[in-house]
Amino acid sequence: MSDQRNINLLFTALGGLVLLFIIAPLAGLFFSTSPGNIIETSADPEVQRSIWLTLMTSMAATLCFAIAAIPLAYLLAKRNFRFKRLVLGIIDLPIVIPHSAAGIAILGFISRDSAVGQFASMFGLNLVGHPIGISLAMAFVSIPFLMNAARDGFANVPIRLEKAALNLGASPLRVFFTISLPLAWRNIISGLIMMFARGMSEFGAVIIVAYHPMITPVLIYERFGAFGLKYARPVSVIFIVVALIFFIALRLLSKENKNAGNQKNN
């Protein structure tokens, strides 16, 4: 009994250190920035524009790629096919490669010389230095979060429920939309939030594709480089608060969604 208590104490102490490691720098950042400074910075149009741009590009990346990523996650969860393991490996690739290298790869993919770049220029678009380019860079590094969460969600949907729906006369597409998708929704929402949050915080890949227009992580870097820590701090605080507000609000919304993932599975 006392051994168990000692282990609990040891683990709590170690866990506390980890939590402190996360909280201490953030708390330091908040406490070393005056409210006046934060209010002044938040009125800065450049800061406002960059936060707006960051939110919009990440949101667009998440929603656009979800349309194709969710069906692929379904296939990966429910079907067996050749090279499935290879596909799974490819999906996790953006997590392991350095994001600056990912930025270089994306830049090559969307530059004016590439097929994609040439296609975009037919519509008068230059994806480099464009919000679309930023979205693509964000999507590249953040899509594994959505894919993996959605795949887990679909894998948890009992195949018997899908077969019962087919037996009742529903087409496979209808079964996907009325059974599989609603039952996997909790995981998918969680994946969407993670993808959105990860895209929003991306710096390495985005700075290579688009220094301008400036997303907030690039703006923070620029203010730090040009003016120093004091000027980078208020932008950082504001951006962290915005990110947290979105993160918490989306989490709460997803919890309110009625979902079968946590219900009795019959």
Partner 1 sequence: MLEIKKITKIYKEFAIKDFSINVEKGDYFMILGVSGAGKSLLLELIAGLIKPDSGTIIFEGEDITNKNIHHRKIGLLFQDYAIFPHLSVKDNIAYPLRLKKLSSAERNKRVSEYAEKASISHLIHRDPSTLSGGELQRVSLARILAMEPDCLLLDEPLSSLDVQLKEGLRTLLRKLNREGLTIIHITHDFEETISLANRLAVIHDGTIVQQGTPKEVFQYPGNEFVAKMTGIKNFFKTKLIKEPPDNNATALINENIKINLLSEEQNCEGHILIRRRDIIISESKLQSSACNNFEGIITETIPQNTGIEVIIDIGVKFFVLLTELSFEELKLGEGKKVWISFKASSVRFIKN
Which residues would be at the binding site for partner 1 (CB under 8 A)?
Answer: 158, 160-161, 163-172, 174, 178-179, 182-183, 258-260, 263-266
Q: What is the distance between the alpha carbons of residues 229 and 239, in angstroms, rounded to a whole number?
A: 15
User: Which of 138/157 has CB closer to partner 1?
Assistant: 157
DSSP H or E stretch at residue 34: none
Q: What is the distance between the alpha carbons of residues 81 and 76, in angstroms, rounded to a whole number?
A: 9
On the 0-12 / 13-18 / 19+ scale of CB atoms within 10 A, 104 is: middle
Q: Shortest distance, CB of residue 260 to partner 1, whole angstroms?
A: 4
Helices 229-256 and 216-227: crossing angle, nearest 10°?
A: 160
Q: What is the distance between the alpha carbons of residues 243 and 200, in angstroms, rounded to a whole number?
A: 8
User: Which of 34/171 has CB closer to partner 1?
Assistant: 171
User: Which of 118/263 has CB closer to partner 1?
Assistant: 263
User: Which of 236/259 has CB closer to partner 1?
Assistant: 259
Q: Which residues contact 205 (CB under 8 A, 6 or more apart)?
A: 99, 100, 102, 103, 106, 137, 138, 140, 141
Q: Shortest distance, CB of residue 251 to partner 1, whole angstroms?
A: 20
User: Which of 150/237 has CB closer to partner 1?
Assistant: 150
φ, ψ dihedrals at 158, nearest 5°: -60, 130
Q: What is the distance between the alpha carbons of residues 19 and 15, in angstroms, rounded to a whole number?
A: 6
User: Which of 164/249 has CB closer to partner 1?
Assistant: 164
Query: Taking phi first (over 0 means left), then psi (-120 to 50 degrees means alpha), and beta for anything else, what does residue 124 get?
Result: left
Q: What is the distance between the alpha carbons of residues 89 and 128, in angstroms, rounded to a whole number?
A: 28
User: Which of 120/183 has CB closer to partner 1?
Assistant: 183
Helices 45-78 and 84-96: crossing angle, nearest 10°?
A: 160
